[in-house]
Structure 1
């Protein structure tokens, strides 16, 4: 067995292994960058201001007392203050004030109630 040729062969194998690691790192980095770009492009910026009405997403799993088909959106709540870092101060109908993450909120769109139209009323009388 020639130790010199075994040493050279082993060095070549280690160099090839380093090349494979570098390729894997590079492709992983490219994949992460593309995924981040794809994700960031689809994020919708939500901006809340004082006086808005919002719904709060309740993600707690409740096994009893709430049906499967019940909506997880609670509210509406009134926005009192919106901080720059995403914390929103909310107030419920009872006057309780609390803070929530802005990612768990969405604008509450109030249903449009059609205005009542005036209707002419005719009275019928019998003719003798």
Structure 2
């Protein structure tokens, strides 16, 4: 809708906002217009015809108008409650979908031997060197997968459990400290 030089975007803003507010949102189960005003949005042509019919139907009876307005306010509360519930259901579905793709956390016990992933290692200087350093000894397991590990040379420090993997001493493919790289010193 904007011309090729894109300088008239402000002129199109009202139309874009109208389209956004009157579009049905799946997450809330209604339109933003209906949540704000409590009724469906009608085009100007429809409004002329409806206003004439409403005036003719109500015939300016103040009691009927008052009752109708109370009913509309109650409907508005119901629409907002429904939109809130729909939004919660949508968020739960998205969370379930997200949680299905999360890997299960590794569980560590005190006394386990682990290897620590060194994310500070540069890619090119030793690209064939191992990114895993260790083995370290697990001294304490905290909540939320935090683990305190110790090494006689580097002391004890706390790391996230996602940066660790189990070390099995019978496997000779990985030498101590990842081959010939220097020992990892935590920040």
Shorter-chain TM-score: which interval?
A: 0.5 to 0.7
Listed one character per residue, the Cα deviations across residues 63-87 of structure 1 (whole Å, up to 9, x for unaligned) are: xxx979899xx75241422425222
Kept in 2, the 8 Å contact 1:54–1:108? The answer is: no
Indicate yes or no: 2:164 matched with 1:102.
no
The 1:34/1:21 distance shift into structure 2, 3 A limit, reads same
| Secondary structure of 2:113's aligned partner | coil
List gaps (5 residues or longer) in structure 1.
59-65, 114-128
Q: TM-score w.r.t. structure 2 length? A: 0.43
- Is contact 1:80-1:90 (8 Å) kept? yes
| 1:48 aligned residue (97, 103, 108) | 108
Measured in 2, the distance between the counterparts of 1:19 and 1:5 equals 21
CA-atom RMSD, angstroms? 3.5
Q: Please give the TM-score of this superposition, normalised by the length of structure 1.
A: 0.58
* Runs (5+) with no aligned partner, structure 2: 1-59, 175-187
Instruction: Flag the structure with more relative contact order, 1 or 2, with Cα contacts below 8 A and sequence separation at least 6.
Output: 1
**1:3/1:67 Cα in 2 relative to 1: closer, same or farther (>3 Å)?**
farther
Number of corresponding residues: 103
Query: Larger % of helix: which?
Result: 2
> Are 1:112 and 2:170 matched, yes or no?
no
